[in-house]
Structure 1
């Protein structure tokens, strides 16, 4: 597991850090070829979320989210976005490539592992498909998370 991934995991909600670490390690073990998993997004501040929401609306670029600040599971530390790092240097979001030649696309090997741990894949969403996105089932309703109190570190306190 690379340093950028470790740093992103360290900022997730404390209740999912170990699980995400295990998921990424299991993905990396399953991917026996040139690809490894990198977490590209984890916890996202409200300001960062607002900047993403403005993209394609009031700032240049294409729209990448329909979630305003506070409306993303990333804002509560229960979501990650990933890419595959090929040969330790090239980022890939190609979902159909089988870098380890085991007849299963590497991305879908990871999708299965995340699902085994109870994480929802944004590629299964009906309207706004988000292929790099995974969030923890049970914590994927921002409306519920927004009502919870925060601990001294700014994480929601789970009941």
Structure 2
């Protein structure tokens, strides 16, 4: 895994860091061609979320999110966005390209690996599909397993580093 991906993983919620390292490792092992996974976004501050939410609303660009600050699982360090790095140089969001010629699009090889580890894919959303996006489905807390939901996460206590206390 590349240095940028590792740096972004280290900012995720501590409860998912090792799991995401394992997922990326499995993706990179499955992709035997010139494509490897890069995390393009992990933890996102509320301020960054507000700026993204403004795109397409107060600018003339296309909307990039329907989530306001606090409404994205990124705001809790429990979501990642990815791209494929081709030959370590060029970022690609092509979801149909089969760089390793194994008859399965590289992107979908990764979708399956994330799903195996209990992560939802934004490509499965009914509206506003977000193909680069993956988020943890359920989180184990002191009170048991909870569905990862921004409404629940927003109400949870935070630790000294700003992460929700699980």
TM range (shorter): over 0.9
Deviations 1:102-125 (A, max 9, x none): 000000000000000000000000
Distance 1:88 1:67 in 2: 31
Counterpart of 2:71 in 1: which secondary structure?
A: coil
Deviations 1:92-150 (A, max 9, x none): 00000000000000000000000000000000000110000000001530000001000
Distance 1:149 1:16 in 2: 18
- Aligned runs of 1:10-159 on 2, under 5 Å? 10-139=10-139, 140-158=148-166
Deviations 1:11-46 (A, max 9, x none): 000000000000001000000001000000000000
- Offset at residue 61 of structure 1 (A): 1.8
Counterpart of 2:138 in 1: which secondary structure?
A: coil
Pairwise CA RMSD of aligned residues? 0.7
Distance 2:54 2:138 in 1: 28
Q: Which blocks of at least 5 consecutive residues in structure 2 are unaligned? A: 140-147
Counterpart of 1:50 in 2: which secondary structure?
A: helix
Partner of 2:144: none
- Offset at residue 60 of structure 1 (A): 4.0
Distance 2:136 2:114 in 1: 9
Say which structure is richer in strand: 2
Distance 2:60 2:2 in 1: 31
For normalisation by structure 1, the TM-score amounts to: 0.98
Which portions of structure 1, spanning 4 or more consecutive aligned residues, are displaced by more than 3 angstroms?
Answer: none
Residue correspondences, number: 158
